[in-house]
Structure 1
Amino acid sequence: MNLAAKNIHKKMPDYTAIKKLYKRSFPRKEQIPLWILRIMVHRKTIHAKAFYDGDKLCGFAYVIEQEKILYILYLAVSNALRGQGHGSEIIKWLRDRYPDKTILLEVEAPDENADNAEARNRRIKFYKKNGIYETNEFFSMRGVRYEILSSEVNFVREDYDAFWKKLFRR
């Protein structure tokens, strides 16, 4: 499989499919309004990519780039294509494109009592399989507990905190 990446923009033929995938893939309270995402990508450090296997839309990623960090804001694979390696290929593409960056992201923390406990565990297993580790660093937002994941085995919380400070300082 050799995925091709295209910049996401409102006039692309698959934009409606990407919007639907975004709305299906993330809980409503975790979704940044699409009009804000469209504005965000005008900054040179924020990238929105749609991934294709041939002419078939496989998924997308919204990432934020800083000096040492590549933060995955959103990554989703089309439901019909999950489990076929497309998500791993997207992670590989990101690693190849940003080889000197530590990949960071957050996922809902494991919770066996959560309605989506199985999905949470699958998500963490997917990232671990792709060399992105649990950090045992947690935070809560809007009543949901999240864990920070990192491609760096020796995760430094101060780097994560500095990333957010710099992002919102601009």
Structure 2
Amino acid sequence: MTKRQKTAANADEKIKQLYETAFPEDEQIPWKDLMRLVEEMPLDFTAYYDVETFIGFTIVYPRKQFNWFWYFAVCEELRSKGYGQQILNQLIERYNGQPFVLDMESTTQVCDNLEERRKRQSFYLRNGFRDTNEFTNQRRTFQNLSCEIFVICQLFTTFAPGK
């Protein structure tokens, strides 16, 4: 698997389509605004390929204390084939043992995509992340829509999945 750094100028339509289908609309920053942030902030925007087949992308916000996963998506038809694990391993190697933090939709909230949420949570827990319980049952509001958040973090200095 290869990775290619992306900018707003070279982010292709496949990345945009995955972004718009992989994340609930209320969790999406409008694409134009997201691309502006990619240009203005120190965001690590990376696309992943198997030869020339687009696999997925990540947007990570590197901070001094931790690396914050903004977005991590694999094409739906390629999920459960080990690509997410490979991408995660590349990120662990790239950030050399620094902590990662991410937020995700609650697995206790009544919703239409509960099974998807549970699979996502299971993926992260299998790969060494842990539930911090720091923000469970808190509310986050984005564009006047509220949702529960679930925070997971991992210190990779003691665990390297798949190695």
TM-score range, shorter chain: 0.7 to 0.9
Determine which structure has the larger helix proportion and give its number. 1
Report the TM-score when normalising by structure 1. 0.82
Amino acid at match of 1:50: A
Superposed CA RMSD: 1.8
Equivalenced residues, count: 150
1:30-83 CA distance string (max 9 Å, x none) = 001112221222246211100011111100000100113111000000011000
SS at match of 1:41: helix
Find out whether 1:90 has 2:87 as its counterpart. yes
Higher RCO (C-alpha 8 Å, min separation 6): 2
Find out whether 1:68 has 2:65 as its counterpart. yes
Amino acid at match of 2:155: E
> Could you tell me how far apart the structure 2 residues matched to 1:148 and 1:86 are?
22
Name stretches of at least 5 consecutive residues in structure 2 with no aligned partner. 157-163
- Is residue 132–residue 150 contact of structure 1 (8 Å, CA) maintained in 2? yes
Percent identity, please. Answer: 29
- Is residue 98–residue 155 contact of structure 2 (8 Å, CA) maintained in 1? no
Report the TM-score when normalising by structure 2. 0.85
Name stretches of at least 5 consecutive residues in structure 1 with no aligned partner. 154-170
Equivalent residue, structure 1, for 2:133: 136
1:1-23 CA distance string (max 9 Å, x none) = xx2111223554x7101100000
> Could you tell me how far apart the structure 1 residues matched to 2:39 and 2:18 are?
22
- Is residue 61–residue 72 contact of structure 1 (8 Å, CA) maintained in 2? yes
